[in-house]
């Protein structure tokens, strides 16, 4: 299952389990710069229109009028983008979009008129009537903040030329939550840090929880934060961590990008040093950890999403260390499986309601089949 192979069989077709949802391509399949440590980069802008109340103060019918207005604006600006109204999608379809980070958890669950516009390659999504009127998002594999900065600024300027953004000369862009006021910019980078949180046989390895605490403290001093794989309020499953900025007021976008980039580069170097020393000092334990994960993934008949993510994390570690041959499994295949095995994707592919036990069975079948077919 190498990077030159085809992972499309892991995913449902565009038509999916219903006629309404059209899924984009999975951009995460292709690793980007610094991909041995950095999974992906994201930039998000929060924007509101001056001509409408904030979401919390919508008057009767205002939310629906805004959604219709913005859907038309976005279609004119990006006619090739796909637009979906949330109320027209099933709960499973919304869950799939959340698992691909096209929408937030809150956007998937809200009942007000709302929508999302996204590119065919899935690297751009625009949420309408989330917490703010507009949430612009752009994504890239690996550490690619400089390019994303250009992409999102271009998108922001083009939308801003068609609508009146709510802006204060002193405080910047007005947002529903004060934590986004100012630039409205959130920069997030997802990292895989197996040795900074590595444990074997109940003991800490070269990395430890103290290393993670040190990283969190360093982030806090820079106005940044460390979260789990799905951002705010999520846990760091499978040794995957997200570094993002907390401060949007009083800092320029360039300063925010530079701060995140600097910490990510520092943490990445730290992780790489730990990998080398940890592997040299604990070779047998590391190899055992990785091959046990391989054995579980290629033989288990039931597996929870947490177990699968933990084992796939170990496989990713093994590929980066050269323990696993990339002709057998590579980062693109692992990152595809990390998405395809999630609950929403399993249920969407099955096109029927699944119990948790049945999802665990299908997840094990999916992963086992993908790895054994190499």
Q: What is the pLDDT of residues 188-206, one digit of tens each?
A: 999 999 987 664 444 444 4
Q: Which of 20-34, 194-208, 259-273 has the highest mean pLDDT?
A: 259-273
354-361 long-range CB contacts below 8 Å, 24 or more apart? 357/302, 359/305, 360/302, 360/303, 360/304, 361/301, 361/302
Q: How far, in Å, CA of 57 to CA of 199, rounded?
A: 49
pTM: 0.88
Q: How far, in Å, CA of 169 to CA of 180, rounded?
A: 16
Q: How far, in Å, CA of 197 to CA of 108, rounded?
A: 31
What CATH topology corresponds to 24-32+44-182? Creatine Kinase; Chain A, domain 2 (3.30.590)
Q: What is the pLDDT of residues 88-109, one digit of tens each?
A: 999 999 999 999 999 999 999 9
Alpha helices (runs of H) in 52-130, residue ranges in sequence order: 62-77, 91-99, 105-109
Q: Residue 260 belongs to what H/E stretch?
A: helix 253-281
CA-CA-CA-CA torsion sign (85, 46, 56, 70):
negative
CB neighbour burial string for 246-259, b if at least 16 within 10 angstroms, e if fewer: ebbeebebeebbeb
Q: How far, in Å, CA of 87 to CA of 114, rounded?
A: 8
Contacts of 357 (CB under 8 A, 6+ apart): 302
Contact status, residue 181 vs residue 173, Cβ threshold 8 Å:
yes
Q: What is the pLDDT of residues 220-249, one digit of tens each?
A: 777 888 887 655 544 456 689 999 998 898
Q: How far, in Å, CA of 307 to CA of 160, rounded?
A: 44
């Amino acid at each position: 299952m190498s990077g030159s192979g085809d992972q499309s069989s892991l995913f449902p077709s565009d038509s999916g389990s219903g006629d309404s949802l059209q899924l984009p391509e999975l951009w995460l399949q292709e690793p980007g710069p610094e991909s041995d440590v950095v999974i992906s980069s994201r930039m998000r802008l929060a924007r509101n229109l001056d001509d409408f109340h904030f979401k919390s103060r919508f008057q009767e019918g205002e939310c629906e009028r805004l959604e219709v207005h913005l859907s038309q604006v976005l279609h004119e600006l990006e006619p090739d983008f796909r637009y979906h109204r949330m109320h027209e999608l099933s709960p499973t379809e919304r869950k799939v979009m959340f698992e691909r980070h096209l929408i937030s958890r809150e956007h998937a669950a809200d009942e007000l008129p709302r929508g999302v516009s996204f590119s065919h390659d899935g690297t751009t999504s625009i949420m309408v009537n989330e917490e703010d009127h507009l949430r612009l998002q752009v994504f890239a594999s690996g550490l690619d903040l400089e390019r994303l900065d250009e992409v999102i600024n271009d998108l922001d300027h083009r939308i801003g030329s068609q609508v009146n953004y709510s802006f204060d000369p002193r405080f910047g862009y007005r947002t529903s939550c004060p934590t986004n006021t100012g630039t409205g910019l959130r920069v997030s980078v997802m990292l895989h840090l197996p040795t900074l949180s590595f444990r074997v046989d109940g003991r800490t390895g070269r990395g430890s929880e103290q290393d993670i605490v040190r990283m969190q403290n360093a982030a806090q001093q820079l106005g940044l934060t460390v979260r789990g794989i799905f951002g705010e309020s999520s846990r760091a499953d499978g040794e995957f961590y997200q570094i993002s900025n907390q401060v949007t007021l009083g800092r320029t976008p360039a300063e925010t990008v530079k701060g995140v980039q600097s910490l990510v580069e520092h943490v990445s170097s730290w992780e790489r040093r730990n990998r080398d020393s940890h592997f040299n000092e604990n070779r047998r334990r590391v190899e055992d950890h990785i091959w046990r994960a391989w054995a579980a993934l290629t033989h288990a008949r039931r597996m929870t999403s947490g177990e699968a993510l933990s084992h796939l994390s170990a496989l990713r570690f093994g590929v980066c260390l050269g323990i696993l041959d990339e002709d057998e499994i590579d980062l693109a295949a692992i990152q595809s499986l990390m998405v395809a095995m999630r609950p929403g994707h399993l249920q969407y592919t099955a096109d029927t309601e699944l119990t948790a036990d049945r999802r665990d069975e299908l997840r094990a079948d999916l992963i086992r089949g993908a790895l054994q077919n190499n």
